[in-house]
Every structure is written in C-alpha cells, then in structure tokens.
Structure 1
Amino acid sequence: MKNLSPSTKLILSFLLMLGFTTSANSQILKKLGKKAEKAAERAIERRVEKEAQEKTDEVLDSILEPGKKGKKKKSPIPNDKSPSDKESSDPNSEGNSQKPDVSPTSESSEPKSIKVYSKFDFVPGDKLLFFDDFSNDFIGDFPAKWNTNGGGEVVTVNDLPARWLLMSQGFSTYYIPDVPNLPEEYTIEFDILVDGIDRQTSSTADLKVELSDSNEFRTGNKYVSASIPLCQYTPVGIRIKAKKTGAGSPKNINNTVKADIREAILNSPHISIAVNKERYRLWVNEKKYIDVPRAIVPESQFKALKFNVNSLKDGKESVFISNIKVAEGGLDLRRTLMSEGKVSTNGILFDSGSANIQPQSMGIIRQISQVLQQDASINLKIVGHTDADGGDEINMKLSKARAEAVMNVLISIYNASPERLSAEGMGESTPVGDNNTADGKAQNRRVEFIKQ
C-alpha cells in the first residue's frame, strides 16, 4: 500500500465506506506493475463513479418518488415506560391527525396517496358519539373509557406521541368501549398497529370487530362481525358473520370475502365501517371489501361495539388499536349542503401540525365536488376551524392553511374551477365542543362548506 498514489488511497478508502474490503484490492495491486496499477486505478475510479451514481440515484428517487424502492419497515414495538409517566401527548391536539405516523407504507407520498383515495366513498358521521385516543390515560393503565374481561394497557410506540391499546388475545376476551346504544345510521373508524406479525403467524389470527345487541362479554343473540385477518403467508380474506334470528336460519350470514390485505396490515391500516339501517360496509384504507345490503335486522338496536383478538403467539405477536371514533350520521352531505346551504364536518383529517390532508378524508371532499359538478351556479366558501391547543395566531394560520388545502384538492383532483372557491380560517374562535376533552377537541377540528 506504500507505493500507491494518494488518489488510489482515497479511492480505496471510499470503497471501504461502501462495504468493499480493501485487503483483496491491496494484495492484487502489490502484484501488479506500474501499468497494471494505473489500469487498476482507472478501473477502480470507474467502479467508484458507478457506485456513487447509483447511490445518488437512490437518494434522488427517495426524494422525488418516495417509496418506489423503499423497503418495508419492521413493525414498531411499545416502549417500556412507567405507568406514572403521564405525558401531555394528545395525538389529536391541534395540529395532530387521527392517524399516528407509524410504519408508513411504500406508497407514502402525500400527493400519490390523495390520488389513490380520490374514489374513496366513505363519509364519516357528523355527530360524535364516542372518541378515544387514550390521551387522558396513564401509560401502563387500562383505558378509563373501556371495559374488558381480560387484560390490556395503554402504550406508546417508538417515542411517537400517539397512544395505543395493547390487547391480550383470547377467544372469549373482549374489549368494549363505552359507546352508547347505536342509532340506525352511524360510522366507526379506528387504526390498527401490529408487531411481530410475519409468515409464521397463524392463518386463524385475526382482529374481530363486532356490533352486538348485548354489552356482556359474549357474542350477542343478534350481531354483525368482521374478522380482519393478520396472517402473512397467504391471503385469508375478511370473514363476515351476521346472526339475525335463530341458529341455522337461512337469513344468517357466514362468508369469507376475498381480500389480500397483508401489506396493509403491516403498515398501520385505517378501518372504516358504515352502518346505514340494514346495510353494512367495511373499508381497509381506501378500498371497500364488504358491502352487504341486508346484514342487520331493521328493528335491531345494537348496544355494544366489541373487539377480540385470536391466535397470536404470546410474547411475540401483538395487536394495538387507537383513534376509535363512532359518529352518528354518515349521510349524504350533498343533500344537506343543497337544502341548507351549509354543511360542517369533522371528518376531514390532517397530518400533525400541518395542512396535509389525511387521504381517508377524501370521501367527504368527493361529495362536495359532486355538488359543484351538478350545479354550475354554486360557489363555495371553505372555512377551517381548530381546537384551542396552541396559540391564537398559530391556530388562525393553520385553520386558513387547511381550508386552502381542501380547496386545492377540489381544484387539482376534482377539477373544480378556482373562481368558484374561497378559503377562510377561523382558528379556535368558534368552538362547538369542550376543548378540555378529547371528544370536544375532535368536534372543534372541523371544516365548513358554505354556499355563496
């Protein structure tokens, strides 16, 4: 190595940083004459230039086309924190979305995600019945607004502000939030996070979501349930069951709907459920998998929402849920806007501290775009509102930016004319809920559409 020129030494050092071993190269170079050494130097220079170009291209790809060649991240695991560690970490405080930023999918570019969701037709209810992000619970405790016959605890994941309910598995272990008796029309939303799920996970592993006429720790006499598969080695499908009358009745439903949601499960999917009288629909992220027109007996009134986890390996595989939202409504916002001239919704969600729209909000914006398409004489003012977390000036700017973000989606995705739209921010100045509670904050974070 002593006879090598400085440029050769620099090149070999660079190769070492890229993972190449210098020992083999030095042995070869010692055996070469000066001409061979120069030839080797040129070859090494070309190799380094090629490697550097490839690395540069990868970096540029990650910036310009995020996720194109990205590898999946390993599912995060909960931190070890003391139950007394009561942090001020409300993931839905102003500027935070109802979806924590964990395990992003390979398609994580915001514009691309928004476009993917452009045909998403889920519209969340507009009268909040229940919301829990566990922000008021101590880490390590079971959440105060829930009941169970098993065990579980509130945890944080990878130092992120969002909190999750870690659920124990068991065929007869239920997790029941304090949801009031459910009306005829309502929506349910929540996020799932998994850890340790891989190709060795059981084909029967699932998270069951049940609507029941009983709030006891058992399956009700009348119910509708969807079992979301966690298996990775084969697409299991989503199982839907509905018991409407006695056992064995032809009116009952027991079917597995074809669905390959393996990648979604590893990347913190958002689940949306809509019940409109007898009709039951379920989406995983932007895709609708279940749409049963007569899943529910008309006269039935469900009293409970239940969660149940099955067939996981203790100590290795875990399932978490968070941001559980139940809201009455989920009706056609177009009719309300046309008849009343104004509609308000807290179903348009944004990323933490920004005006980036969560893609699952696109069902609402899509309906608003259809109003504009139907009546060319209508102009709309879009008004953003925040909760009271943060300063007045910051919230005013943020609410304006979010209203403008909604306006820009109407223009860029749904081809609305810019001349027909305007945006305004009201900050925290006109609350409709109590800013001291998670429910109230969720109500205050809203967007209004007003006919002009």
Structure 2
Amino acid sequence: MRKSFILKQITLTSIIICFVAPNLEAQTKKLKRPKSKVGINSVDRFVKESFDLYDKVYKYDAYAATGTPLEDEDLDVLEDAIEEITVLSESAPDILSDLDGKGAVKQAKATLQINRAKKALKYSIKTAKELLLGQRQSQEEEEEEEEETAPQTDSNKEPKQQPQETQENEEIENLNVSDQLEIYSKYDFVPGDQVLFFDDFSQDFVGDFPSKWNTNGSGEVIRTNKAKGNWFEMIHGNSIFYIPDVNQLPEDYTIEFDVLTSGLSKHTSMFAALTVVISDSDNFVNGKEHYAKISIPIVQNSNGKINCHNYFNRSGGDINSYIKADISKEVLNQPHIAISVTKKRLRLWVNETKHVDIPRFIEELNVLNYLKFSVSSLKDVEHVFIKNLKVAEGGVDLRRKLLSEGKISTNGILFDSGSSNIQPQSLGIVRQISQVLMQDETIKLKIIGHTDADGPDDTNLKLSKDRAHAVKDALVSIYKISSERLTTDGKGETQPVDDNNTADGKAQNRRVEFIKI
C-alpha cells in the first residue's frame, strides 16, 4: 500500500514537472547565443564565457519569476558569478584591440558579437545583484516604474537618459549600423567627390557657437560620453535657423551629416523634427522667393512622417507631402542622413534606407544656393545635435567615369577616425565599383589609399595601405569579386590634393583611388 502511494506521488510529480518545466521562464526574453564563431580566439572566448554566465543567471531569474526561493548554495553561485562577470567585463577593451588589421566584414561580425556579449553581461550583473538583495522586480513593474521617470540633462547639456530610454538606446547602440556592413550592400547613395563644405567642429571650443555657422538663435559645441568628438547642439525655437557658410550650390551635389539625440521618449511631440532647407537667401527665413525643405521626424512612435515641401516664385509649390517613415529607433542611434540633389531630383536616405525620391522637387535650377537647419517642437529636456556636415559637388554615376577614363578618385569612402573600419554609408561607391567589375570580368583594379597629414608619416602610410585593403576586402567578401583582380597600395599623406590646414582640405585629401591595370 505504501509503495502504491509513493508510485502515485512520483507519477503525479512527473506530470506536474512535464507541465511546469516548459513554462519556467525568466522575466525577460532570452538573448540568443551566437551560433557561429568569429575566428578570433579572444573574441570567441569572450562571447562563450559571457553567455555561459548569462545562462547561469538567467536560470535563477526564472526561479524568481515563478516564486521559487533560492537556497544558500544558489546565492553562493550568484556571488561567484558577479565576480566573474566583473573580471570578464574589464577585459572587453583589450579584446577590441585584437580586431586591428582584420578584414572589414570580420571586424563587423566580431564587434556585433562582442556587443551582444556585453549586453548579456549587463543583464547578468544587474539581475544577479537584484536576486541577491531580494529586489528582483517583475518586468511589468520595471516598465511602469521607468515610464514614470522623466528625462533629465545636466548643466553641461551632455546627453543623458533616464532608465527606460537608456535601456532602449543601449540595445539599439549594441546593434549599431556600423557593425553590420552587409545590410548596406544594396545602398545606392553616392556622395559628391568635390568637397564644398565640411565641419566636424573639431576646430571649435566646447561651449562656443561654431565659427563656420550663423544663427538668429543660440547653440553650442558640446562633448558627451555617448559619442566621440565634438557635436553641435541646435536649440529649438520659432523661426530659428542655423546656416553653415555655404553660398553657391551647383546643380548636382550631396549633403551628409550625423545626428545625435537625447531626452526623447514616447512623450516627445508628434511634430518634433529636424528640418533641412535649401534656400535662395541666407536670411533667417525659409526663402525669399524660392526654397525646398525636408523635415525629418524625431517622434518616438511609428507614426513618423517626412514632410517634403517646395515653394517657388512666391506661388507656393506643387509639393507638400507627408511620407510615412518609422525611423524612431534610428534617431536614437546616431543615424547618418544623406541627401542627393541631381538637378531637379531630390533623394533622401536615413542610414541605408531611401525614404524620399522626388524627380522634380527642385522646380527651378540655379536659384537655391544656401543651406539651413532648424529643429522644432522639442521640450527643454530634449536635444538634437549634428556632426560631420559634408556638402560636396557631384554624386553622379562613377561607373561611366571609371570605364571611360580608366580611373577615379573619391573621398566618399569614409573610415572611422584613425582606423581602416569602413563606415557602412560608404558602400554606395563600393557597390558601383563592384558593378563595373561584374560587367567586364577582364578588368583589374589597383586600389590606392590616401590620408590627410594628421599624425606621424609612418602611421599614415600604414593606415592608407590598411584602408585600401579594407576596400578590397569589402569587394571580395560582400560583392564576391575575385581577389586576384584587385591589388592595393597606400601613399599616406605624400600626395595631397588640397590644403591640410583646413577641415575642407583634409576631407578632400582623405580619399581612395581606383585605377584600371
């Protein structure tokens, strides 16, 4: 009788386990461990150990989610895990240095996996501490608490986010577009090859208004621990304009810049926008008789719309449209904005995606010569910054020029500062080069890198060679061009085409040449 009772209890327990075990889940959706290795030992080891610790903590979080009390042995495991996580996190900067000299695609894959591992470690240490202190909240409680917290900025106006926004921003930053070159493989923006204006605000003092701009409002150059370098903050206000020293735009040109935001939330106004105006005057109005403007939404919901409005000969314009564009995540992650004007045609990209392509947006040629920016409908805690504004003549098809002249030189292939990492928005040019090579399989190319004069001569020489090789690697890895058809070289700073004492000249000197051989 006793045995029968025990058997029934065992059977009942087994049934309960069968139904309960599959539902044993932690309070947050589980991160996926990378399925493949990078091929760099330090990176693969870091990723593996990070996710091993993550799995351990995630298991105990699942216990807490079901109300299962933790035993003393469990608490000991969590304490040990915190120590291991701390040590492992401190090794991340050293691992990044192991990426130097690797191919662009391998670097991108490695960086993506490192960021995923760092995200796993961040969750692990936060959760382990909460479990040890008995303070682990449910996901719903955390979200409610975070929604009640208002965004803030400090007195130096450095971008800072409160818990909910920080969590969202970091998740997006960990998947930064610069880590994913291949998603740009079909990107068709081609920047101009003759720099008309460039400003990264590196020559301006923090706290000052930038020297190559004008305004009827206020703004200043800032630094932040969220992004490298100097950024220019534009203060929102009614009819406030920010005007760079551009006074003669050709018929074909491109405009590029990076955007940084702070303090945005689901409460950001549906009218919040960053507007780019192409105008017939440098006055603090849209234009006297002619202008065309594009307003890029920074609202934090899926209802964002890009407003395209033109106005010619004081008679309004044919176009005042609102194009749906959910770019709410992009504007939290330092998006790259690219605009191409080819005579009357205007196109706009946010990162790799083309959102606007209007064939006759510029109704009258040779009347719009000035560029203006404005921001609108922001709260005091919300901020918009820009960097790396580049205006360049050209932006037309380079394929015909390479075929007809046998060589091209372009400063449109951009790299991270002091690095051979290709910035993904440069792949429009690399793609065009690949199309020439695909069209005529007898063509072979020599790729030559050039730098500006900043830094030691020998460093620049090596950097120029590494950058040329990175372009070759992209052609081979992304576009499947045979490596035997490509050779590389670098000239460092020895062959400048412009003045290395100006920002514009340096931008012109940082270039890549393609020569048929």
* TM-score, scaled relative to structure 2: 0.70
> Which of 209, 232, 243 does residue 300 from structure 2 map onto?
232
Is 1:164 aligned to residue 231 of structure 2?
yes
Note the 1:355-366 alignment, pairs <5 A.
355-366=420-431
1:44 maps to 74
SS in 1 for 2:458: helix
SS in 2 for 1:147: strand
Note the 1:342-353 alignment, pairs <5 A.
342-353=407-418
Q: Give how far 1:65 is off.
A: 2.7
Q: Give how far 1:62 is off.
A: 9.3
Superposed CA offset, 1:355-407 (max 9, x none): 11000000000000011011111100000000111111111111000000000
CA distance in 1: counterparts of 2:195 and 2:320, whole angstroms: 31
Is 1:223 aligned to residue 291 of structure 2?
yes
1:376 maps to 441
1:399 maps to 464
2:113 maps to 65
1:289 maps to 355
1:9 maps to none
Q: What are structure 1's unaligned runs of at least 5 residues? A: 1-13, 21-27, 30-38, 82-101
Paired AA for residue 471 in structure 2: V
> Which of 253, 266, 282 does residue 319 from structure 2 map onto?
253
Q: Which has the higher contact order (CA 8 A, sep 6+)?
A: 1
Contact map agreement 1:357 1:406 (CA 8 A) in 2: yes
Contact map agreement 1:76 1:103 (CA 8 A) in 2: no
Superposed CA offset, 1:312-360 (max 9, x none): 112x111111111000000111111111111001111111221110000
Contact map agreement 1:192 1:320 (CA 8 A) in 2: yes
Is 1:138 aligned to residue 186 of structure 2?
no
Is 1:339 aligned to residue 404 of structure 2?
yes
Note the 1:18-417 alignment, pairs <5 A.
44=74, 65-68=113-116, 70=119, 80=156, 105-108=173-176, 113-158=180-225, 161-220=228-287, 221-247=289-315, 252-314=318-380, 316-417=381-482
CA distance in 1: counterparts of 2:76 and 2:513, whole angstroms: 60
Q: Give how far 1:301 is off.
A: 2.1
SS in 2 for 1:347: coil
Contact map agreement 2:214 2:243 (CA 8 A) in 1: yes
CA distance in 2: counterparts of 1:448 and 1:406, whole angstroms: 11
User: Is the alpha carbon distance of 1:426 and 1:212 closer, same or farther for their aligned partners in structure 2, counting shifts above 3 Å?
Assistant: same
Paired AA for residue 463 in structure 2: L
CA distance in 2: counterparts of 1:342 and 1:78, whole angstroms: 51
Judge which range, 260-269 or 232-241, deviates more: 232-241
CA distance in 2: counterparts of 1:298 and 1:429, whole angstroms: 43
CA distance in 1: counterparts of 2:358 and 2:301, whole angstroms: 28
SS in 2 for 1:65: helix
Superposed CA offset, 1:157-190 (max 9, x none): 1286511111111121000001121110000001
Q: What are structure 2's unaligned runs of at least 5 residues? A: 1-52, 61-67, 93-108, 123-145, 158-169
Q: Give how far 1:287 is off.
A: 0.5
CA distance in 1: counterparts of 2:397 and 2:477, whole angstroms: 23
Count of matched residue positions in the alignment of Structure 1 and Structure 2: 395
Is 1:444 aligned to residue 506 of structure 2?
no
Contact map agreement 1:171 1:308 (CA 8 A) in 2: no
Contact map agreement 1:128 1:328 (CA 8 A) in 2: yes
SS in 2 for 1:162: strand
Paired AA for residue 290 in structure 2: K
CA distance in 2: counterparts of 1:202 and 1:448, whole angstroms: 46
CA distance in 1: counterparts of 2:406 and 2:424, whole angstroms: 26
Paired AA for residue 274 in structure 2: L
Q: Give how far 1:49 is off.
A: 11
Superposed CA offset, 1:145-167 (max 9, x none): 11111111111112865111111
Contact map agreement 1:397 1:425 (CA 8 A) in 2: yes
Contact map agreement 1:195 1:318 (CA 8 A) in 2: yes
Paired AA for residue 178 in structure 1: D
CA distance in 2: counterparts of 1:266 and 1:155, whole angstroms: 18
CA distance in 2: counterparts of 1:286 and 1:50, whole angstroms: 43
Q: Give how far 1:118 is off.
A: 0.7
Paired AA for residue 443 in structure 1: Q
Contact map agreement 2:291 2:311 (CA 8 A) in 1: yes
* TM-score, scaled relative to structure 1: 0.79
